[in-house]
Amino acid sequence: MTASVTPTHCPYCALQCGMNLTPAPGGGVEVAERADFPVNRGALCGKGRTAPALLSSRVRLTSPLVRTGGVLVPAGWDEALSRVAEGLARTRADHGPDACGVFGGGGLTNEKAYALGKFARVVLGTSQIDYNGRFCMSSAAAAGVRAFGLDRGLPFPLEDVPRTGCVILVGSNLAETMPPALRFVTELRENGGTLIVVDPRRTRTAEQADLHLAPRPGTDLALALGMLHLVVAEGRTDEAYVRDRTSGWEEARAAAMAHWPEYVERITGVSVPELRAAVRMFCEPENAMVLTARGPEQQSKGTDTVGAWINLCLATGRPGRPLSGYGCLTGQGNGQGGREHGQKADQLPGYRKLTDPAARRHVAEVWGVDPASLPGPGRSAYELLDALGTDIRSLLLTGSNPVVSAPRAAHVEERLRSLDFLAVADVVLSETAALADVVLPVAQWAEETGTTTNLEGRVLLRRRALAPPEGVRSDLEVLHGLAALLGVEKGFPTDPEEVFEELRRASAGGPADYSGITYRRLAEENGVFWPCPAREDPDGDAEDTGAGPEDRQGLPENPRTAPGTGGTGPGGTSPGADPDAPADGDGSGGHHPGTPRLFLDRFATEDGRARFVPVSHRPAAEEPDDEYPVLLTTGRVVAQYQSGAQTRRVDELNTAAPGPFVEMHPRLAARLGAADGDAVTVVSRRGRAVAPARITTAIRPDTVFMPFHWPGEGRANTLTNPALDPVSRMPEFKTCAVRVEAVRED
């Protein structure tokens, strides 16, 4: 590798594809293939290839902006930071610390997420912090903790997927959301395995499937329960596994047996023969996996829905076995790491619970504060946004664009406008930043070093390839400056490696233990899988993490890193594991090798057993009726990303996907008298959106689909329902009742 080539990772989705950056002839950088990274082996989607376009001063902020006379005008950094500090201090003095809110993002590096959580709790003293990752995979995280005692999106590397026998892909359109990952299921089929896709639309991914199940939106829970019913009825349960490695089976089985196939067919629209075929395809191979994404998770019953798919895996003996199990496909770039280290309302660094006295003591010691000074859990993301302008009077927001991405978005926009003070740190002038009193321009992916954690739990090092433009600062510099102005002179370094060293100590002994990971290791290896506790260094001296036995959650031996969780030998394998499974480091030099594969001998529960959780089908929070007879579901397209704040500024991507649309079946279009390309109005109880019709047989006749990347009259999230899952507090993005009307000229 020459000095002019910088190996790094894509700024977009949770694959965190490897790429090389090389100097461009006219300045800036160009993307080049990086074939050594195992997740993408050099392959990139259009977003990754065009990512350097975001570095141009033509599309991004290069000066702080302050609102003067109702208009945002350029200002110096001293004035901008002073205004932010004054706004937050005034709110805290007048209304108390919890009147200050902080809202983060799943694209922030681990260092920035960690510092933001520390800033909220130590500098502002507020409990009111959450982030947009709550909208990503919080339901899968909650279900994983309930079942396995630990949440890590994928408890195995993606490279295991092609070597299993069957994959059920639930509510994921990999071909459009993570194109480089599609090759894993393509290789699966080339190896003789089978693919089942569960999606109400016949997507580009569903077209690759051996079996496509198209349930009515919001009925994935019934579908999983119907399959489990058939597993029991057909004698396909793994009785020895259930006996030896699980608990709670009797209750879960009884709940599933109430969902007989004909009943499930009436609920879901999936025929009994299709159900039987899916069960046969899943159960007959020795190894099989279920992978879920936003489809089953973004529901007001998302935790139970994912739990039903986990129950199916447990009953058939899949989790904790090589080349088998359950996993969640995290969406945002650092959605996994972003929630592990403190910007989530109820968590402290290392995935520790904010309500755990031992966790509070450990983190408070690292931070040099009194544990009693740390606030308790705050509101979840939508609840925080809903409280703006009332209980929460000022907001510091970074790395998120809720004006486009939040459910019931028109209401969220109204709440943002009602604040006494709003400060936004962002790369571009997003729709949310345009509402702010102060906008702070911050550095982005190629302009700063930092770590992210991809969907496999693989901690990665993004490297700085060029300096940010003059007038732009890093988020760490912003937090350092604000902390000093608010009276906290120390504890907020601007060097990301220094922040990571503190994060290591704060995470030590926690479920997401990063204490054995260093920048040096990350620079030499293709990522390190957590948990990775500190061991002896190459010279035989203990690595200093500041954690002792009393910090390890009060357990005699932490079950999350004890033998059998994947850290017992090369590649995280253990006795009985596949001897041909690829290795991911040998722990040479005394370092812990990391944990590519979790749960191989025991789960991260008190007794080491996975837990069945009995669940039953229930309707969506909002079902169709005479006034709103159609179901709306939302999602993404390949050329745009999340709220589109970045991708909508790239010409090539806009050419490929220039605007919103309403996908509908020809029968629905005929009833409306709408032709392909005609403007149609979609109306829900929360508002209306207008976009061109896209007529296709790839969607159910009772359902319409809208992508959510655009603001304005085509904003899909104007329509979506903020009904929350009672456990994860995930909003119900994936289904709500609407009516569709043709737009007629007078």
**Bridge-partner residues for 213, per DSSP?**
198
Query: What six digits make up the tokens of 635?
Result: 């999602």
Angle at 291 between CA 289 and CA 295, to 5 degrees: 150
Cβ neighbours, 10 Å, residue 686: 19
Instruction: Say whether both 533 and 483 belong to one domain.
Output: no
Cβ neighbours, 10 Å, residue 123: 24
Query: Residues 638, 46: contact at Cβ < 8 Å?
Result: yes
Residue type, 217: P
pLDDT of residue 549: 31
Three-state secondary structure call for residue 542: strand
For residue 164, being part of any structural domain is answered with: yes
For residue 665, being part of any structural domain is answered with: yes
Separation between Cα atoms, residue 457 and residue 517, nearest integer Å: 13
Separation between Cα atoms, residue 636 and residue 621, nearest integer Å: 23
Instruction: Say whether both 357 and 481 belong to one domain.
Output: yes
CATH number of the structural domain spanning residue 353: 3.40.50.740
For residue 458, being part of any structural domain is answered with: no
For residue 457, being part of any structural domain is answered with: no
Which structural domain, as residue segments, surrounds residue 15?
Answer: 6-55
pLDDT of residue 376: 97
Instruction: Say whether both 534 and 639 belong to one domain.
Output: no
Domain termination residue (choose one: 55, 78, 93)? 55
Three-state secondary structure call for residue 366: helix
Judge residue 78's burial from the number of C-beta atoms within 10 Å of its C-beta, 0-12 exposed, 13-18 middle, 19 or more buried. Answer: exposed
pLDDT of residue 745: 66
pLDDT of residue 537: 53
For residue 27, being part of any structural domain is answered with: yes
Three-state secondary structure call for residue 125: coil
| DSSP secondary structure code for residue 124 in this structure | I
Three-state secondary structure call for residue 91: helix
Helices marked H in 600-694 — which ranges?
A: 651-656, 666-672
Cβ neighbours, 10 Å, residue 575: 10
Instruction: Say whether both 308 and 344 belong to one domain.
Output: no
- Secondary structure, 3-state, 150-217: CCCCCCCCHHHHHHCCEEEEECCCHHHHCHHHHHHHHHHHHCCCEEEEECCECCCCHHHCCEEECCCC
Instruction: Say whether both 276 and 151 belong to one domain.
Output: yes
Count CA atoms within 13 Å of residue 395 on its CB side.
Answer: 30
pTM for the structure as a whole: 0.92
Query: Residues 431, 417: contact at Cβ < 8 Å?
Result: no
Domain termination residue (choose one: 434, 460, 492)? 492
pLDDT of residue 583: 37
- List the one residue out of 385, 317, 308 whose CA is nearest residue 345: 385
Give the H/E segment covering residue 621: none
Q: Kind of pairing, strands 687-695 and 662-664?
A: parallel
Query: What six digits make up the tokens of 183?
Result: 């090759």
Query: What six digits make up the tokens of 564?
Result: 């059998």
Separation between Cα atoms, residue 640 and residue 654, nearest integer Å: 8
Separation between Cα atoms, residue 151 and residue 303, nearest integer Å: 13
Instruction: Say whether both 502 and 526 belong to one domain.
Output: yes
Three-state secondary structure call for residue 290: strand
CATH number of the structural domain spanning residue 247: 3.40.228.10
For residue 616, being part of any structural domain is answered with: no
For residue 462, being part of any structural domain is answered with: no
Which residues have CB under 8 Å from 313's CB, separation 6+?
289, 290, 319, 324, 325, 326
Number of separate domains in the chain: 5
Instruction: Say whether both 297 and 181 belong to one domain.
Output: yes
Q: What is the four-CA torsion angle of 349, 352, 353, 358, rounded to 10 degrees?
A: -110
Separation between Cα atoms, residue 118 and residue 691, nearest integer Å: 42
Separation between Cα atoms, residue 732 and residue 125, nearest integer Å: 31
Separation between Cα atoms, residue 401 and residue 379, nearest integer Å: 18
Separation between Cα atoms, residue 325 and residue 111, nearest integer Å: 31
Cα–Cα distances in Å, from 379 out to 131, 301, 304, 479?
Answer: 10, 19, 21, 22
Instruction: Say whether both 186 and 292 belong to one domain.
Output: yes
Which residues have CB under 8 Å from 50's CB, separation 6+?
650, 652, 653
Instruction: Say whether both 259 and 123 belong to one domain.
Output: no
What does residue 576 show for φ and ψ, rounded to 5 degrees?
95, -10
Three-state secondary structure call for residue 677: coil
CATH number of the structural domain spanning residue 22: 2.20.25.90
CATH number of the structural domain spanning residue 706: 2.40.40.20
DSSP string, 10-56: -SSSTT--EEEEEE-TTSSEEEE--TT-TTTTT---HHHHTGGGGGS
Three-state secondary structure call for residue 464: coil
Instruction: Say whether both 359 and 428 belong to one domain.
Output: yes
Instruction: Say whether both 665 and 710 belong to one domain.
Output: yes
Which residue positions in the chain have pLDDT lower than 50?
A: 538-542, 544-588
DSSP string, 478-517: HHHHHHHHTT--SS--S-HHHHHHHHHHHHTTSSS--TT-
Greatest alpha-carbon span in the chain: 82
For residue 109, being part of any structural domain is answered with: yes
Domain termination residue (choose one: 328, 355, 371)? 328
- List the one residue out of 150, 140, 156, 153 whose CA is nearest residue 606: 150
Query: What six digits make up the tokens of 702?
Result: 């009772």
Instruction: Say whether both 129 and 163 belong to one domain.
Output: no
Q: Catalogue the E-assigned strands of 308-388.
A: 325-328, 347-348, 352-353
